């Protein structure tokens, strides 16, 4: 997408895997309301979190692709009919839109100065476009979102990926041996380091004696996050935060430290845990690299997100073509 080799693309998002890459590459990416897009044919990771969504070069393209994707699918029992038709955004004003800025998400120490400055400029632009901008608080979402996610998601991954044992699904080790050896070799050869790590964590969290202390407790915390977001939407139509705390980092820079990699989803995970839609819109550059703005809305508010994102896109005038390539 960023190279201009495709007009649009699909991604699968569990804790930020649509919004985060879109932010780092200067694309528009939508993680839709959970259940509005079919997951039929997608290898399940965490069933209560997985969601397919569109990535595009601009907001209108993203909205158009979503209008094609969204809706009930008889092959996926978790899908629902949309309450409203998907509309392509047109206006350039934010008059009457109530935008909330969670203080924890903009002041966090993990956010790079350049990212914070680009987002702050966009917040001021929202006011200039007529939006009613106010501060709000999601005190538990940032503190507990990541640890809650990394209990629930690996637990569901452990269950979902148990079927890949070389018998009916996927890869089977070609090495000779009895059935148990075939299971072991297939799963050792067929999964990479990160899937293995998550399977092990998830299996531990679901094991006898630890289920209530870890997985059960995480589900209770998830309910707290859902209620916290619902309370914020009683005052605001849209929440605005940075998408990623940093701009794109060098290839392999964090691969040796899984925890550092996990924390990169610090800002995207809470709304995913609550099943809410989120839209990434490029809002500027830091160190010559794209900065992403995350717009979060209540369930089925994609039209509002597209409308706000489109107005900001027009006002910002972000050019997705890198400066070093623009003259060629």
Query: What integer best gives the mean pLDDT of the chain?
Result: 93
- The pLDDT, as a whole number, for residue 324 is 65
Q: Is the pLDDT of residue 258 over 80?
A: no
Among 1-10, 74-83, 126-135, where is mean pLDDT lowest?
1-10
Note the pLDDT of residue 169: 87
Average pLDDT over residues 268-297: 96
Residue 321 pLDDT exceeds 80: no
Percent with pLDDT over 90 in the chain: 81
List phi, psi (to 5°) of 210: -120, -10
Q: Where are the domains of the chain?
A: 8-135+233-326
Least confident of 113-117, 209-213, 266-270: 209-213
Which long-range contacts does 318-325 make (Cβ < 8 Å, 24+ apart)? 318/26, 318/282, 318/283, 318/284, 318/290, 320/2, 320/26, 320/27, 320/57, 320/282, 320/290, 321/4, 322/288, 323/288
- Give me the pLDDT at residue 217, please: 94
- The fourth-level CATH superfamily of domain 8-135+233-326 is Amidase signature (AS) domain (3.90.1300.10)
148 is written with which tokens?
A: 């809650």
Average pLDDT of the segment spanning 234-258: 89
pLDDT the model gives residue 302: 98
CA distance 309 to 229: 20
The rounded radius of gyration (Å) of the Cα atoms in the chain is 20
């Amino acid at each position: 997408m960023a190279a201009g080799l495709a007009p649009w693309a699909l991604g699968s998002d569990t804790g930020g895997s649509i919004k985060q890459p879109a932010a780092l590459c200067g694309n528009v990416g939508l993680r839709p309301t959970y259940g509005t897009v079919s997951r039929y044919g997608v290898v399940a990771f965490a069933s209560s979190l997985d969601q397919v969504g569109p990535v595009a070069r601009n907001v209108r393209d993203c909205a158009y692709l979503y209008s094609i994707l969204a809706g009930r699918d008889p092959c996926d029992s978790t899908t629902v009919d949309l309450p409203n038709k998907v509309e392509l955004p047109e206006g350039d004003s934010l008059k009457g839109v109530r935008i909330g800025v969670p203080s924890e998400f903009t002041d966090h120490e993990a956010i790079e100065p350049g990212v914070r400055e680009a987002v702050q400029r966009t917040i001021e632009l929202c006011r200039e476009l007529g939006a009613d901008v106010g501060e709000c608080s999601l005190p538990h979402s940032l503190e507990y979102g990541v640890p809650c996610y990394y209990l629930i998601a690996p637990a569901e991954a452990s269950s979902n990926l148990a079927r890949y044992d070389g018998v009916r699904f996927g890869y089977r080790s070609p090495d000779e041996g009895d059935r148990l050896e075939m299971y072991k070799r297939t799963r050792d050869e067929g999964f990479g380091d990160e899937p293995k790590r998550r399977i092990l964590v998830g299996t531990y969290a679901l094991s006898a004696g630890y289920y209530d202390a870890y997985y059960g407790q995480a589900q209770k915390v998830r309910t707290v996050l859902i209620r916290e977001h619902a309370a914020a939407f009683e005052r605001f139509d849209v929440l605005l935060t940075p998408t990623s705390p940093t701009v794109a980092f060098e290839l392999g820079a964090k691969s040796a430290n899984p925890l550092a990699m996990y924390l990169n989803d610090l800002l995207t995970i809470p709304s995913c845990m609550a099943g809410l839609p989120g839209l990434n819109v490029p809002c500027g550059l830091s160190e010559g690299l794209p900065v992403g703005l995350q717009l979060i809305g209540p369930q089925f508010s994609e039209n509002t997100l597209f409308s706000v994102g489109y107005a900001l896109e027009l006002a910002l005038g972000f050019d997705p073509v890198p400066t070093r390539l623009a003259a060629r």
